[in-house]
Amino acid sequence: MKLRISILLLILSLVLMSLDKVSKNTVTFEYPKDWPKPTYTFKNNPLTEEGIMLGRKLFYDPKLSKDGMISCASCHLSFTSFTHVDHKLSHGVKDRIGRRNTGALINLAWQKDFMWDGSINHLDFQPLAPLTSEVEMGGNLDNIQKYLSSDDTYKSLFFNAFGDSIANTPNMLKAFSQFMLQFNSFNSKYDKVKRGEMSFSESEIKGYQLFQTHCNSCHTEPLFTNNQFMNNGLTVDTTLQDMGRIKVTGLKSDSLKFKVPTLRNIEVTYPYMHDGRFKNLPMVLLHYSQEKHQTFNIAKELKEPIVMTEGEKRSLIHFLKTLTDKEFLYNQDLSFPRN
Ligand code: HEC
Ligand code: HEC
């Protein structure tokens, strides 16, 4: 009797496994051959068309927020590289103002630490913060789960993606990640020049050389970040009193350190820095070429002002603009879902 039940169970699980395979369309994660390996463990959350489709619907759904007005996309717009353009600090439910500027969401599979201070260390956990934060979406996981599990479209999307129509939080988080792992940018002019498909102008070449001399040690190619936390010599904003990484580690040596952000698509992600203090790129270069706020742990490369002529600054900006990837910014597969 026992044996018969186990055989039955075995057959049942084999049938379920094969159903599982039939119903899902796996997606391979593609990236340029000469890039480092991504750090995200796809093994634990294999990409499927169904999972990505669900993640996309969730990302654009304001009903996940307390007042039904704010979705992830309210602060992360696809055509500005998923930043909250023109806002120094992000605005959430009831127009409450957050403490930080929204950074770009790009090439997240290569990132180990999230947020400006690295307070989150796995992409799958990232959505929990905005979903439940009082100044962002102000939601509550139980209510979100109830809403998703009672909506017919979501029920079938969850079933197609994970073989379970109940919208549990782990599967919801996996779907968010699957969609965000599509935010990959490697088709800028810079990338095309690297692949031999285009060439830089004279000014861009000059800018690239300046970049390699002064910026590349932190904003390191090809991702344009070294994924470290550094102090780049900004003064502390006296109202926000944001001390950065120290809040997470408690180490004095981490005071005023922030994550080195990628510079990909930097032309469209203004304003700049963790608090959006600089409106445009000339202001950023003015900061780097001036005496900086000297604290004990200011990065050694930035202790002295970086001396550049106005012409050199223009060339450097010309180069930075070659990092704009229009194919990514206007990718229809990443924008508001039409169905
Ligand atoms: C009210 C505006 C707002 C909303 C809504 C919002 N975010 Fe964010 N997001 C931010 C801000 C601001 C940061 C940077 C916060 C920090 O560093 O402290 C951020 C950071 C992130 C990051 C980390 C980026 C990095 O490079 O470290 C990810 C990923 C992200 N958000 C995804 C989401 C998802 C998914 C949602 C929806 C569930 C969402 N966000 C909703 C404003 C928002
Ligand atoms: C020692 C490391 C280091 C060097 C060298 C460096 N940066 Fe940065 N950069 C940072 C850090 C850290 C931040 C984030 C600081 C913050 O917001 O508090 C940053 C932020 C930026 C930003 C804002 C990005 C955004 O999304 O808001 C730009 C633009 C920028 N840097 C450009 C440059 C350029 C151009 C150079 C060379 C002239 C340069 N950086 C050199 C560490 C560095």
End-to-end CA distance of the chain: 50
Domain 21-185 sits in CATH at 1.10.760.10
Model pLDDT, residue 311: 97
Q: Judge if the beta carbon of residue 129 lies within 6 A of ligand 1.
A: no
Model pLDDT, residue 165: 92
257 CA distance to ligand 2 middle (Å):
11
Model pLDDT, residue 335: 93
41 CA distance to ligand 1 middle (Å):
21
DSSP 285: H
| Nearest residue by C-alpha to atom 5 in ligand 1 | 72
Phi/psi for 83 (5° steps) reads -110, 175
Model pLDDT, residue 211: 98
DSSP 83: B
- CA neighbours within 13 Å on the CB side: how many for 122? 10
Q: Judge if the beta carbon of residue 257 lies within 6 A of ligand 2.
A: no
Token pair, residue 104, equals 């770009």
154 CA distance to ligand 2 middle (Å):
41
336 CA distance to ligand 1 middle (Å):
17
Helix (H) or strand (E) holding 154: helix 152-162
| Nearest residue by C-alpha to atom 20 in ligand 1 | 115
What value, to the nearest 5°, has the Cα angle with vertex 241 and ends 240 and 242?
90
Q: Judge if the beta carbon of residue 100 lies within 6 A of ligand 2.
A: no
Taking CB atoms within 8 Å and a gap of at least 24, the contacts of 67-73 are 67/93, 67/94, 67/138, 69/93, 70/136, 70/137, 70/138, 71/137, 72/127, 72/130, 72/176, 73/336
| Nearest residue by C-alpha to atom 38 in ligand 1 | 127
Atom number in ligand 2 closest to CA 299:
1
286 CA distance to ligand 1 middle (Å):
28
Q: Judge if the beta carbon of residue 90 lies within 6 A of ligand 1.
A: yes
Tokens 């120094």, located at residue: 88
| pTM across the whole model | 0.91
Model pLDDT, residue 241: 84
Within this chain, domains 21-185 and 189-323 share the same CATH topology: yes
Over the chain (339 residues), what is each successive 10-residue block's mean pLDDT? Answer: 66 59 81 96 96 97 91 92 78 72 93 93 93 86 92 95 94 97 98 97 98 97 96 86 88 93 96 93 95 85 91 98 97 89
Domain boundaries, the chain: 21-185, 189-323
| Nearest residue by C-alpha to atom 21 in ligand 1 | 115
Q: Closest by alpha carbon to 283, among 297, 273, 274, 293?
A: 273
Q: Judge if the beta carbon of residue 229 lies within 6 A of ligand 1.
A: no
Model pLDDT, residue 124: 96
Q: Which CATH code, of 1.10.3210.10, 3.30.460.80, 1.10.760.10, 1.10.10.10, is assigned to 189-323?
A: 1.10.760.10
Q: Judge if the beta carbon of residue 104 lies within 6 A of ligand 1.
A: no
User: Cα 308 from chain centroid?
Assistant: 31
